[in-house]
């Protein structure tokens, strides 16, 4: 008989700080995201601790009084991991671990752990492993050493079934080996991309969980894994799509996130090459997310890091089916009107106006407004095609409806 597997969630506690850049509302939004990340990694959040502090304590990140509170809670509730919403220094991580005697993770190691779980192909696994070891190397002394017996779970997973190595010398060797391996694959991928011929290349980019893969599936009738968890996609999928009779290549790739670990951006170089070499970007945004504007900034920041800011871009505001705004009475003088009260029509008159006809509002799930989406993509791809191949553009009429 088949054994029924139930998922066991590891108990976790989250820690965030309020400072001059982060008010209470912001911290809670960030912790919501951290909770979603924790859940994606297989953790269940039992409690959040927030401290108001201007500068992080150099020894323990939060103050000693708060630490005692956390310690008491961890002890009496059988907590497996304490997760900080920021990157801890190796020293802080060590001190906190010594006091709390459980696994201490930060935002970076949590994201790395999710990537390790999600990596499917050997190529993705190599990239993740390299990023993990780069993160670990400066932290190896004393890391979780007295926790040997409890090893495993969040933060301890290497790609595949293996556990991460913690011997410094072995780790160094492993890093140089992985780098060599990646260099070889990078070359192969480059050749592959070169062989794809003269098709215009379009890349879906955006924050994680905004619906890139769903949109890819809808327009290319392919079957890319989409799920309501973070980082469902790690490998890049490329499909040939034909709109009208105009063929182009569409790629779906790893989602971005606020403070994406630099180690990941570096080791995912080849995966991100697909974006770097694209002729047109479709920047997908989840407009139903309260933080979507900040998500756009994070994505733009990463695009700048990979030198892809100046590309032709269409902003695709997705999930309009799920967009809710709070209406307020016009004569309600107490409530100040904020972005939360904008309707989609009002949004169109904000900074989005500057994006002009390069902004689209769709629902990939309900297939709303996909015709307009197709038309807009057709126009852009056709323009690029004509500039590149001025001799055979008679094939493609100026408007999609002319077929």
Ligand X SMILES: Nc1nc2c(ncn2[C@@H]2O[C@H](COP(=O)(O)OP(=O)(O)OP(=O)(O)O)[C@@H](O)[C@H]2O)c(=O)[nH]1
363 contacts which partner out of Mg ion, ligand X, none, CB within 5 to 8 A by kind?
ligand X
* 285 to 232, 252, 320, 350, 380: CA distances (angstroms): 16, 14, 10, 16, 19
Q: Which of residues 251-270 bind ligand X (CB under 6 A)?
A: 255
Among 14, 74, 232, 241, binds Mg ion (CB under 5 A): 232
Phi-psi region of 209 (alpha: psi -120 to 50; beta: other; left: phi over 0): left
Contact status: 159 vs ligand X (CB under 6 A): no
Q: Which residue lies nearest ligand X, judged by its C-beta?
A: 255
Residues contacting 353, CB < 8 A, separation 6+: none
The residue (of 49 and 231) whose beta carbon lies closer to ligand X is: 231
Task: With beta carbons less than 8 A apart as the criterion, state whether 64 and 4 touch.
Answer: no
Task: With beta carbons less than 8 A apart as the criterion, state whether 264 and 228 touch.
Answer: no
Contact status: 213 vs Mg ion (CB under 5 A): yes
| Count of CA atoms in the C-beta half-sphere (13 A) of 344 | 17
The residue (of 166 and 369) whose beta carbon lies closer to ligand X is: 369
Q: How far apart are CA 175 and CA 137, in angstroms?
A: 9
Q: Which range of residues in 9-17, 97-105, 183-191, 231-239 is near Mg ion by CB under 5 A?
A: 231-239
Q: How far apart are CA 53 and CA 36, in angstroms?
A: 24
Q: How far is the CB of 224 from Mg ion (least distance, A)?
A: 7
The residue (of 104 and 282) whose beta carbon lies closer to ligand X is: 282
Contact status: 359 vs Mg ion (CB under 5 A): no
Q: Which of 213, 200, 210 is nearest to 243 (CA)?
A: 200
Contact status: 125 vs ligand X (CB under 6 A): no
The SS3 of residue 385 is: helix
Strand-pair partners of 250:
202, 239
Among 12, 364, 381, 400, binds ligand X (CB under 6 A): 364
Contact status: 318 vs Mg ion (CB under 5 A): no
398 contacts which partner out of ligand X, Mg ion, none, CB within 5 to 8 A by kind?
none
* 208 to 26, 83, 254, 299: CA distances (angstroms): 19, 20, 8, 10
347 contacts which partner out of Mg ion, ligand X, none, CB within 5 to 8 A by kind?
none
Q: Which range of residues in 174-182, 301-309, 338-346, 358-366 is near ligand X by CB under 6 A?
A: 358-366
The residue (of 80 and 255) whose beta carbon lies closer to Mg ion is: 255
Q: Which of 190-199's residues contact partners 24+ apart within 8 Å by CB, and which partners? A: 190/273, 193/273, 193/274, 193/277, 196/238, 196/249, 198/388, 198/389, 199/240, 199/247, 199/248, 199/249
Contact status: 233 vs Mg ion (CB under 5 A): yes
Contact status: 121 vs ligand X (CB under 6 A): no
211 contacts which partner out of ligand X, Mg ion, none, CB within 5 to 8 A by kind?
ligand X
Give the position of tokens 């192909």. 121
Phi and psi of 76, rounded to 5°?
Answer: -85, -5
Q: Which of residues 293-332 bind ligand X (CB under 6 A)?
A: 318-319, 321-322
Per-residue x/- track, 34-73, Mg ion (CB under 5 A): ----------------------------------------
> By the criterion CB under 6 A, which residues form the site for ligand X?
206, 208-214, 226-228, 230-233, 255, 318-319, 321-322, 363-365
> By the criterion CB under 5 A, which residues form the site for Mg ion?
212-213, 232-233
């Amino acid at each position: 008989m088949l054994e029924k597997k139930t998922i066991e969630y590891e108990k976790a506690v989250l820690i965030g700080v309020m400072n001059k850049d982060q008010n209470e509302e912001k911290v809670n939004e960030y912790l919501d995201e951290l909770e979603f990340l924790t859940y994606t990694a297989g953790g269940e959040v039992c409690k959040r601790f927030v401290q108001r502090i201007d500068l992080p304590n150099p020894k323990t990140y939060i103050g000693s009084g708060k630490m005692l509170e956390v310690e008491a809670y961890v002890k009496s509730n059988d907590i497996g991991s304490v997760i900080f919403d920021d990157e801890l220094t190796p020293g802080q991580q060590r001190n906190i671990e010594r006091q709390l005697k459980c696994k201490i993770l930060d935002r970076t190691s949590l994201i790395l752990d999710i990537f390790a779980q999600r990596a499917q192909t050997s190529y993705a696994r190599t990239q993740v492993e390299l990023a993990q070891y780069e993160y670990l190397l400066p932290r190896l002394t004393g890391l979780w050493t007295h926790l040997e017996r409890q090893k495993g779970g969040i933060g301890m997973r290497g790609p595949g079934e293996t556990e991460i190595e913690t011997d410094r010398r072995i780790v160094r060797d492993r890093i140089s080996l992985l780098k060599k391996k990646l260099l070889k694959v990078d070359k192969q991928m480059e050749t592959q991309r070169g062989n794809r011929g003269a098709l215009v290349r379009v890349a879906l980019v955006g924050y994680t969980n905004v619906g890139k893969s769903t949109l890819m599936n809808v327009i290319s009738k392919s079957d890319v894994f989409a799920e309501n968890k973070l980082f469902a996609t790690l490998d890049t999928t490329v499909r040939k799509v034909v709109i009208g009779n105009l063929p182009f290549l569409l790629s779906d790739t790893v989602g971005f996130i606020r403070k994406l670990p630099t180690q990941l951006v570096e080791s995912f170089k080849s995966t991100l090459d697909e974006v770097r070499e694209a002729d047109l970007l479709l920047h997908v945004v989840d407009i139903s997310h309260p933080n979507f504007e900040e998500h756009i900034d994070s994505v733009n920041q990463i695009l700048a890091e990979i030198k892809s800011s100046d590309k032709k871009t269409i902003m695709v505001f997705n999930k309009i089916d799920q967009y809710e705004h709070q209406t307020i009475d016009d004569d309600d003088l107490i409530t100040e009107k904020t972005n939360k009260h904008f309707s989609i029509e009002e949004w169109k008159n904000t900074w989005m106006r500057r994006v002009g006809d390069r902004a689209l509002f769709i629902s990939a799930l309900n297939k709303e407004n996909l015709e307009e989406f197709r038309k807009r993509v057709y126009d852009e791809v056709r323009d690029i095609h004509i500039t590149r191949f001025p001799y055979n553009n008679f094939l493609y009429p100026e408007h999609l409806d002319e077929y």
